Structure 1
Amino acid sequence: MRSLPTAELATESATLDLGARLGAELRAGDLVLLDGPLGAGKTVLARGVAAGMGVTGQVTSPTFVIARVHHPAEGDGPALVHVDAYRLGGLDEIDDLDLDTDLTDAAVVVEWGEGVAEHLSEDYLVLRIHRREDDVREITFEPHGERWVRWLADHPGFV
């Protein structure tokens, strides 16, 4: 089995930068799931994605509102739908958010999305975040579907 690309990020700014570089690559229809324990850096990575997409609004954890939509500042490019699935009770509740409709004109980033959001698209990227004891974040890129397998193959130096 081929090993998955993994980035080691020693600082919060490095995590933001990786997110920004990924955000600059996202397009409408993209689904990204952020997986990791509490405090791993999922929201920091999402803030970087938002910066790379050039969207407006402060990006914070949507834990209590479940989902936030951020629109591009310049009016072009996809919106970002930032979701926190931590408090959702399962597939029915994520379906109630109508995220599959959002995927037509937005990129969707879901914190705690594994196990509840994969069904939204055949093509999705899981970013597994592990925060080591020395505070270095290890982020593993796990592609699912042709879009992300091809994207990672076409961007070998990205991670």
Structure 2
Amino acid sequence: MSSEATARTYELERESDTLEFGRALGAALRAGDLVLLDGPLGAGKTVLARGIAAGMGVTGAVTSPTFVLARVHRPEREAAPALVHVDAYRLVSLDELDDLDLDTELTEAAVVVEWGEGVAERLEDEYLLVRMNRRDDDVRELVLEPHGTSWPDRLPAGCPER
């Protein structure tokens, strides 16, 4: 499925909008899902990841895993999948990504990778690429690019598309 045919663009004016959008996305995630967050520093990737975690039922602090590379967050509900939050910014090679063993995690968890474009797509044929940009007026623009057949029907509703 072409991502261009199904890409959706959203404008999020406040941080709370980004968190709420993440909650909606997190509520739709299931074990085996791969979400790649891409955008420059300050675009809101970690804020979106915090919202995703909340939507998945994760409690506790969700911060950027820049220096540890990956963190596993467990939800309160036992039947819900875990969230593996990865920061690929410091990865130098694909071998380092392989060392994280994320393909194994994908059987039991949803994996969200900040700075994932160009690195983590090879983990799954089906994934959601979220391109984020922060405009000069501080509005965040999100472009959701679903790859595969399962994503288009599960994309969050509720935020106005641009």
| TM-score between the two structures when normalised by the length of structure 1 | 0.93
Give how far 1:145 is off: 1.1
Residue 82 of structure 1 is aligned with which of 82, 85, 91? 85
| Structure 2 match to 1:107 | 110
Q: Which has the higher contact order (CA 8 A, sep 6+)?
A: 2
| Structure 2 match to 1:134 | 137
- 64 and 126 in structure 1: CA distance in 2 versus 1, 3 angstrom threshold: same
Aligned length: 157
SS of the residue 1:17 aligns to: helix
Give how far 1:69 is off: 0.2
Unaligned 5+ residue runs, structure 2? Answer: none
Give how far 1:147 is off: 1.5
Percent of counterpart pairs with the same letter? 69
Alpha-carbon distance in 2 for matches of 1:22, 1:121: 18
CA RMSD of aligned residues (A): 1.6
| Structure 1 match to 2:68 | 65
| TM-score between the two structures when normalised by the length of structure 2 | 0.91
Alpha-carbon distance in 2 for matches of 1:79, 1:3: 27
| Structure 1 match to 2:41 | 38
Residue 55 of structure 1 is aligned with which of 40, 45, 58? 58
Alpha-carbon distance in 2 for matches of 1:150, 1:13: 24
Unaligned 5+ residue runs, structure 1? Answer: none
